[in-house]
């Protein structure tokens, strides 16, 4: 069991978003300074679906699914063909490249499910996998779970003038030295930056040149702020290695409680993902699949308003954070994450996160979940009640002052 | 990618229940004899949730979950604590041994999700895993996916006078020769037989003696027919290796469309399962978890009636099948599977299954999904409309006559 013990040791979730409830106060708890700060608790580890509610009509569509009975409960492992066909057209229009509903698309248990299946279908022991730092914490864990070899790709998002700031020279060197898979999120989670057309073009060319399989998590690509533009990798030529794009309605559309995602792209990889899904969970919950009917079919103006509201929160949070001397933060171009780098503190980033929770009723995700080099950063998911979010960030600012080195 | 290609080659799902729609008619299609048999199509590959509907009130409980919003959408990865605590008491009462809701139980994406997580937490490359033949098809696939070594344990269910007919001498030899995990279903899927008290007692003693981890899938343990008795392994002492029991409301309770299951037992294994679930799917869909509130809390008499109705179908199907000369079938003691061994035919079992689908509108699952030695057997899930099921089995009887060797 040693191999397994080691594998599961690496799979720690103690500091993962939403798992704070399992933390025991103990030796990791920092020596606290000062009094508790009063205010409405805000859990920035995930979006608040009570503040931003699911797509109008989604529950009705679910109810219709239940009423359909067996036909909706039991679908192919890759999901209902009828729904896949509907989605394929919409996703093709959104991403600018064709999607065949029958062969190119699978419905999964959330985008996490899609990431797991895509990783399992392309990574085995010894597979070199290029992973951006920082990036979504599960990417690293997936590589470790499948015993791949992680090849870190730095992203200087704080100083990049244009785009995400990925180091394309390091990416090229990684591919040349045998990386077979490149797994990344765009917009980047946690930094909220969007890869430029030039960066995505370079990723496509390098993937084609070296036959690399690319898995791109585009979960937040619809929540794009004023003046920003987005380049879909799948609209470019990426070569023989194959490309899987992952999206889902859990974030911008607030449907996380239904656990739905999709992966689309190279049919060989999608085929593997289906075979695996059969033993992982059989299928995404049949009734829930029905809810995808209202995705990319939202009422006129609904998405525009959602973007506007998030942009307003973003701007207020940035204004508050930028008053902190020595704090660095990049303006998120898309999505609902902001990832400031704090000034030097008298305690570790992890300890500060715990103090923040205990003393200020503010839950954030520590930067080390996203990169070993991000101990000084914390991630906020600002898809929250606007006023509560602003007040919670003000408390955070006060806590930074309190624990400044 | 060769290691991966080999892994996914073994993960074939072409003949898995519910995947018939993906089969292309081609060289595997047998030369058909005779005309098409008219009659209402019946898909015996899974239960018909239109004939046997979900627990009354389950949709209302789901709706309440959606109305609760974020608190229901985002739970710990192992599921809502409140719901786990509720279930723990009921499952302890049902199985006759304590369950701690906080540490001993995880809510999963169906029992398939529980099986996957339990297997991943205990099997790695080279782990010897004892698997009964025949048994649920995914058990074998899980061992292969995690590169364990399968140690087959014969079960002579057709000739056993009492119990399931597992060969306890072979099981003991397997444990002595280093099998670390024993994974089996009770009642057995596909044969519908229940392990006797003596058999389960022997499994417990052997597991304790050799420190084997046992994973027991008790999905159908509530649907127990007149005069039968059931022994819960977890009520016995099974030693240091650990024991995980898996159940869920997808079958007897017809809640498959919600994809819910639970695993309970050794907290160390449950802890690993949670860590893994975090990267597999985050959690069982939050809203769906609410539905578990009505599980083991069904209206008075509801389960008794459900058992009565299934027993009536079982008896009619057995009567029809036993008219076939040379067909052998054991009376299912629990669950809704019947697994006859057909007389010698002029085509393979797999080809007969395809002919049955094409010519008689009857879908069954080929025996080879459950054991390499079961080519002569087919599995019916008889949780169907009673009259339609009887007629479909009559057509099957006619097809057997048509293709008899």
Q: Mutate which of B259, B267, B276, B384 to test chain A, going by most A C-beta atoms within 10 A?
A: B259
**Which of A75, A110, A257 is the mutation pick for testing B, counting most B CBs within 10 A?**
A257
Q: Give the global pTM.
A: 0.96
Mean pLDDT, rounded, for A207-219: 98
Residue B388: other Cβ atoms inside 10 A:
15
Local confidence band at A11 (pLDDT 50, 70, 90 cut-offs): confident
B77 near A CB under 8 A: yes
* Contact assessment for residue A173 and residue A155, using Cβ atoms and an 8 Å cutoff: no
Tell me how far apart the terminal alpha carbons of chain A are, to the nearest angstrom.
Answer: 44
State whether A65 and B257 contact (CB < 8 Å).
yes
pLDDT tens-digit map of A27-54: 556 789 999 999 999 999 999 999 999 9
pLDDT at residue number B332? 98
**DSSP code of A334?**
B
Would you call A325 helix, strand, or coil by DSSP?
Answer: coil
Question: B256 and A286: CB-CB below 8 Å?
Answer: yes
Six-digit token string for A24:
């025991």
The chain B residue lying nearest A58, using CA atoms, is B66
ipTM of the complex, rounded to two decimals:
0.95
- Model confidence at A13, pLDDT cuts 50, 70, 90, reads confident
Taking a C-beta distance cutoff of 8 angstroms, is the pair A366, A15 a contact?
Answer: yes
Phi and psi at B25, nearest 5°, equal: -70, 130
Query: How would you classify the pairing of strands A260-265 and A243-247?
Result: antiparallel
The Cα B108–Cα A374 span in angstroms is 32
Distances, alpha carbon B312 to alpha carbons B49, B226, B385, B396, in Å:
17, 11, 11, 19
B164 touches B145 (CB < 8 A):
no
Give pLDDT, residue A225.
98
Which DSSP letter does residue A20 get? Answer: G
Cβ A49 vs Cβ B69: under 8 Å? yes
Chain B residues 301-360 with CB within 8 Å of chain A: none
End-to-end CA distance of chain B: 44
Which sign does the torsion angle of CA B309, B312, B316, B318 carry?
positive
Residue A261, phi then psi, degrees to nearest 5: -150, 170
Dist CA A243 CA A240 (whole Å): 9
pLDDT-derived band at A242 (thresholds 50, 70, 90) equals very high
Written in H, E and C, the secondary structure of chain B is CHHHHHHHHHCCCCCCCCCHHHCCCCCCCCCCCCCCCCCCCEECCCCCCCCCCCCCCHHHHHHHHHHHCHHHHCCCCCCCHHHHHHHHHHHHHHHCCCCCCCCCEEEEEHHHHHHHHHHHHHCCCCCEEEEEECCCHHHHHHHHHCCCEEEEEEECCCCCCCCCCECHHHHHHHHHCCCCEEEEECCCCCCCCCCCHHHHHHHHHHHHHHCCEEEEECCCCCCECCCCCCCCHHHCCCCCCCEEEEECCCCCCCCHHHCEEEEEECHHHHHHHHHHHHHHCCCCCHHHHHHHHHCCCCCCCHHHHHHHHHHHHHHHHHHHHCCCCCCECCCCCECCEECCECCCECCCHHHHHHHHHHHHCEECEEHHHCCCCCCCEEEEECCCCHHHHHHHHHHHHHHHHHHEC
pLDDT of residue B19: 75
Mean pLDDT of A309-331: 98
**Interface check B147 vs A, CB under 8 A:** no
Cβ neighbours of residue B304 closer than 8 Å, sequence gap 6 or more? none
Instruction: Report strand pairing: B181-185 vs A365-366.
Output: unpaired
Q: Say what the pLDDT of residue B381 is.
A: 98
Q: How far is B340 from chain A (nearest CA, A)?
A: 25
Structure confidence at residue B7 (pLDDT)? 87
Distance in Å, alpha carbon of A259 to nearest chain B alpha carbon: 5
Asked if B359 contacts B37 with a C-beta cutoff of 8 angstroms, the reply is yes
Q: Which of A73, A138, A284 sits opposite B256 (nearest CB)?
A: A73
Residues of A in contact with B8 (CB under 8 A): 121, 272, 275-276
Predicted pLDDT at A88: 98
CA distance B33 to chain A (A): 29
Per-residue DSSP letter, A104? S
pLDDT tens digit sequence for A86-99 = 999 999 999 999 99
Closest alpha carbon within chain B to A16: B278
With 0-12 CB in 10 A as exposed, 13-18 as middle and 19+ as buried, what is B392? buried
* Contact A16/B at CB under 8 A: yes
* Per-residue pLDDT at B21: 67
CA angle B239, A14, A318 (to 5 degrees): 165
Q: Over chain A, what is the mean pLDDT?
A: 95
Judge whether residue A21 has pLDDT over 70: no
- Which helix (H) or strand (E) segment is A120 a member of? helix A110-122
Report in angstroms the alpha-carbon separations of B130 from A373, B140, B149, B178, B213. Answer: 44, 10, 9, 10, 10
CA distance B9 to chain A (A): 9
Contact B257 A72 (CB under 8 A): yes
| Cross-chain Cβ contact A283/B259 below 8 Å | yes
Tell me if chain A has a CB within 8 Å of the CB of B266.
Answer: no
CA atoms of A350 and A37, how far apart (whole Å): 19
Hey, is A183 helix, strand or coil? strand
| Residue B3 to residue A125, Cβ atoms within 8 A | yes
The C-alpha torsion from A340 through A346 and A349 to A355, rounded to 10°, is -100
Cβ distance B113 to A142 less than 8 Å, yes or no, reads: no
When scoring A71, A107, A282 by the number of chain B Cβ atoms within 10 A, the one with the most, hence best to mutate, is: A282
Report the chain A residue with the minimal C-alpha distance to residue B118.
A280
CB A367 within 8 A of CB A374: yes
Q: Tell me, rounded to whole angstroms, the distance of Cα B10 from its chain centroid.
A: 20
Angle at A363 between CA A360 and CA A368, to 5 degrees: 120
The structure tokens listed for A117 are 């299946």
Nearest to B281 among A50, A109, A278 (CB): A109
Instruction: Give me the pLDDT at residue B142, please.
Output: 97
B9 CB within 8 Å of a chain A CB: no
Give me the mean pLDDT over the A185-196 stretch.
Answer: 98
| B185 exposure class (CB count in 10 Å sphere: 0-12, 13-18, 19+) | buried
Tokens at B192, concatenated: 């519908």
Chain B residues inside the 8 Å CB shell of A72 = 257
Whether the per-residue pLDDT at A103 is higher than 90: the answer is yes
Q: How far apart are CA B211 and CA B21, in angstroms?
A: 43
Enumerate residues 151 to 180 of chain A having a beta carbon within 8 A of any beta carbon in chain B: 180
The tens-digit pLDDT sequence of chain B (405 residues) is 588 998 898 887 777 777 776 665 555 567 899 999 999 999 999 999 999 999 999 999 999 999 999 999 999 999 999 999 999 999 999 999 999 999 999 999 999 999 999 999 999 999 999 999 999 999 999 999 999 999 999 999 999 989 999 999 999 999 999 999 999 999 999 999 999 999 999 999 999 999 999 999 999 999 999 999 999 999 999 999 999 999 999 999 999 999 999 999 999 999 999 999 999 999 999 999 999 999 999 999 999 999 999 999 999 999 999 999 999 999 999 999 999 999 999 999 999 999 999 999 999 999 999 999 999 999 999 999 999 999 999 999 999 999 999
A251 — contact with chain B (CB < 8 Å)? Answer: no
Instruction: Give the pLDDT score at B344.
Output: 98
Whether omega before B187 lies within 30 degrees of 0, making that bond cis, reads yes
pLDDT at position A17 over 80: no
Of A8, A49, A66, the CB nearest to B272: A8
Q: What is the mean pLDDT of residues A104-132?
A: 98
B202 lies within 8 A of chain A by CB: no
pLDDT of residue A399: 98
pLDDT score of A156 more than 90? yes
**Would you call A141 an interface residue with chain B, using a CB distance cutoff of 8 Å?**
yes
Interface test with B, best of A280, A363, A384 (most B CBs within 10 A): A280
Between CA B5 and CA B270 the distance in angstroms is: 31
Top residue of B10, B282, B292 to mutate, by most chain A CBs within 10 Å, is B282
Residue B241 and residue B214 in contact, taking contact as beta carbons nearer than 8 Å = yes
């Amino acid at each position: 069991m040693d191999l397994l013990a080691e594998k599961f040791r690496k799979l720690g979730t103690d500091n993962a978003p939403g798992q704070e409830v399992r933390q025991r106060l103990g030796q990791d708890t920092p020596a606290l300074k000062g009094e508790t700060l009063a205010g409405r608790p805000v859990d920035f580890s995930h979006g608040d679906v009570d503040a931003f509610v699911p797509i109008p009509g989604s529950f009705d569509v679910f109810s219709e699914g239940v009423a359909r009975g067996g036909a909706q409960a039991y679908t192919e492992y890759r999901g209902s063909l009828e729904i896949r066909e509907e989605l394929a057209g919409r996703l093709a229009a959104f991403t600018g490249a064709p999607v065949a509903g029958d062969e190119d698309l699978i419905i999964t248990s959330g985008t996490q499910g899609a990431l797991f299946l895509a990783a399992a279908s392309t990574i085995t022991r010894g597979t070199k996998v290029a992973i951006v730092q920082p990036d979504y914490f599960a990417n690293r864990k997936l590589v470790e779970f499948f015993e791949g070899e992680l090849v870190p790709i730095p992203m200087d998002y704080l100083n990049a003038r244009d785009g995400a700031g990925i180091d394309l020279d390091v990416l090229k060197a990684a591919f040349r030295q045998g990386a077979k898979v490149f797994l990344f999120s765009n917009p980047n989670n946690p930094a909220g930056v969007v890869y430029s057309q030039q960066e995505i073009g370079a990723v496509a060319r390098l993937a084609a040149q070296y036959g690399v399989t690319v898995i791109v998590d585009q979960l937040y690509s619809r929540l794009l702020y004023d003046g920003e533009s987005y380049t879909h990798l799948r609209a470019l030529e990426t070569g023989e290695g194959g490309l899987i794009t992952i999206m889902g309605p859990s974030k911008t559309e607030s449907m996380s409680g239904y656990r739905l995602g999709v992966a689309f792209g190279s049919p060989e990889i999608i085929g593997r993902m289906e075979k695996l899904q059969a033993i992982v969970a059989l299928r995404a919950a049949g009734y829930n699949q029905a809810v995808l009917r209202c995705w990319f079919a939202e009422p006129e103006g609904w998405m525009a308003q959602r973007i506007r509201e998030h942009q307003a929160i973003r701007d207020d949070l940035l204004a508050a954070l930028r008053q902190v001397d020595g704090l660095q933060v990049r303006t998120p171009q898309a999505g609902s994450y902001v990832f400031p780098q704090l000034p030097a503190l008298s305690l570790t980033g992890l300890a500060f996160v715990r103090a923040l929770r205990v003393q200020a009723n503010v839950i954030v995700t520590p930067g080390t979940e996203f990169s070993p080099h991000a101990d000084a950063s914390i991630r906020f998911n600002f898809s929250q009640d606007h006023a509560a979010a602003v007040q919670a960030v003000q408390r955070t600012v006060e806590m930074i002052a309190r624990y400044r080195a």
